[in-house]
Structure 1
Amino acid sequence: MTVLFDLLERLSSLTRVWFREHPKLTDLQPIQLSALMYLGRCNRYSNTPLAVTEYLGLTKGTVSQSLKALESNGLLIKTPDAKDKRSVHLELTAPARALLNDVMPPDFLVAAAKRMGARSEDLEGLLLELLRNIQQGENVPGFGLCRSCRFHQTVAGGAFCGLTQEPLESGEIDLICREHRLPEEVHE
């Protein structure tokens, strides 16, 4: 297992270096970039400060300060929840989305996946399996894609969330949800 850990750590280090050296990311702290990347991939049920905190595994204070910085830099907008005025949703601005489109996925990763060919898809599947195994074994939040969730349903030809009892837009099924549960998990 030492080799697996060393490989994952090295890949993480290379990614951090790439982000740190990217000319379009020089004004962002790593946590701010992580928050933007998460918010760029999460659904409408998962774009709250609490969800960002849980996803990143950091303290509320650290995340709160990072979100304030992103908001003051025009990369984030806070919108009150329509049903619960105490809650806010975090929306990326057009400049934030453009920035993420320019830097994600990292060029080095795209090039490596192309060189690997079909084996990159195998690797992706194995890494997903490793992640799910860790999440289940360590009882950490799932934060998976809607389409792989036990609550995801098809109703009248459209996507539907069985947990919230709401229809989903077509693009939402490929977004991260904090309420994600694998189909084989025990119902509570």
Structure 2
Amino acid sequence: MREPEIFKLIERISNVLRSEQRKKYAVIGLQPIHGQVMEYLARCNKYSNTHASVADYLGLTKGTVSQTIQLLERKRYLDKTVDSIDGRVVHLTLTRTGQALVESLKPLESFRQAETLMGDQSFDNLDHALSDMLALLQQTNQSKSFGLCHSCQHFGIEQQHYLCRLSDETLVRDDVDKICRNHAAKPHS
């Protein structure tokens, strides 16, 4: 049975990367959770930039997310905007300063070096295996997939425009490569 060893390897890789991340964020007076929230907001689409979506994606309580967002807003890394249709919904977007910070802190240099040393084929195989494992874990735990729009069963192209069939809205090109809370994986053929 190999899974305990694989689990330990994944856990150890995660610990090494988190340690490097903690050091980077400590230099600028932030905790890793602050960076994780900003990284999520940099990657998510307009349907997924809410407090609840951040909490779901990171597996955190709404209280923890709320405190984190307040701090990031005070430091001017993000802005809050009330939804124009549903006034109860607040959207979170990174400011230019927040975007610049996220860009400056990723990817972790040690990870980039390891990727280069592994070679393209090995890294592609690892990427595929881990993607499959993540999908199975999400299915088993009944958690949202937060996949990319273009890999969603609700995604379509009609009259040379990208479309979300769930919301019945046209998508801009930038949305297609972002993660979505409402993602539903296309069935395997």
TM class, shorter-chain normalised?
over 0.9
Greater than 3 Å deviation, 4+ residue runs = 23-26
| Structure 2 CA distance for partners of 1:44 and 1:25, relative to 1, 3 Å | farther
Contact 1:20 / 1:26 at 8 angstroms: preserved in 2? no
Question: TM-score, with normalisation over the residues of structure 2?
Answer: 0.93
Describe the SS at the equivalent of 1:16: helix
Identify the residue that residue 126 of structure 1 maps to in structure 2. Answer: 129
Number of residues of Structure 1 aligned to a counterpart in Structure 2? 185
The alignment status of 1:59 with 2:61, answered yes or no, reads: yes
| Structure 2 CA distance for partners of 1:134 and 1:23, relative to 1, 3 Å | closer
| Structure 2 CA distance for partners of 1:74 and 1:63, relative to 1, 3 Å | same
Deviation at 1:117, TM superposition (A): 1.7
Identify the residue that residue 94 of structure 1 maps to in structure 2. Answer: 96
Describe the SS at the equivalent of 2:182: coil
Letter in 1 for 2:11: E
Letter in 2 for 1:168: L
Question: TM-score, with normalisation over the residues of structure 1?
Answer: 0.94
Letter in 1 for 2:50: T
Identify the residue that residue 9 of structure 1 maps to in structure 2. Answer: 11
Identify the residue that residue 21 of structure 1 maps to in structure 2. Answer: 23
Identify the residue that residue 165 of structure 1 maps to in structure 2. Answer: 168
Identity %: 38
Describe the SS at the equivalent of 1:44: coil
Query: What is the aligned counterpart of 2:38 among 36, 39, 43?
Result: 36
Deviation at 1:24, TM superposition (A): 7.2
Q: Which 5+ residue runs of structure 2 have no aligned equivalent?
A: none
Identify the residue that residue 107 of structure 2 maps to in structure 1. Answer: 105
| Structure 2 CA distance for partners of 1:178 and 1:23, relative to 1, 3 Å | closer
Q: Which 5+ residue runs of structure 1 have no aligned equivalent?
A: none
Describe the SS at the equivalent of 1:177: coil
Determine the C-alpha separation between the residues in 2 that align with 1:59 and 1:44: 21
Determine the C-alpha separation between the residues in 2 that align with 1:133 and 1:122: 17
Letter in 2 for 1:60: K
User: Could you say what the CA RMSD is over the residues aligned between the two structures, in angstroms?
Assistant: 1.4
Contact 2:81 / 2:91 at 8 angstroms: preserved in 1? yes
Contact 1:24 / 1:99 at 8 angstroms: preserved in 2? no
Deviates more, 1:114-123 or 1:40-49: 114-123
Determine the C-alpha separation between the residues in 2 that align with 1:16 and 1:83: 38
